[in-house]
Amino acid sequence: MADRNNNKLLVPGAEDAVDSMKNEIANEFDVELGADTTARDNGKVGGEMVKRMIQIAEETMANRRQ
C-alpha cells in the first residue's frame, strides 16, 4: 500500500527527529508499530509524542523569555 501521509513538516530535517521520537516511545511502551498494531497502541504512541512535543515547545518558550 502506498504511503498516504499528506502531513508536511515545516522544519527541514525534522522528519528524522520525529521518526526517532516515535520509535523511542514505541520501544518504551513495548509497541511494535505497523499495520497490524491496534489503533489503541498506535494512539498511545501518538499521544505521548504530542505530550513530549508540547513539553519541548513550552521549555523552548520559557528559555526565550529569560
Q: What confidence tens digit (pLDDT) does each residue in 8-59 have? A: 778 888 889 999 999 999 999 999 998 899 999 999 999 999 999 999 999 9
Does the pLDDT of residue 1 top 70, yes or no? no
The answer to whether the CB of 26 falls within 8 A of the CB of 45 is yes
Residue linked to cell 502506498: 2
The percentage of residues in the chain with a pLDDT greater than 90, rounded to a whole number, is: 70
Q: Which helix (H) or strand (E) covers residue 20, if one does?
A: helix 14-28
Beta carbons within 8 Å of 41's beta carbon, 6+ residues apart: 29, 31
pTM above 0.85, yes or no: no
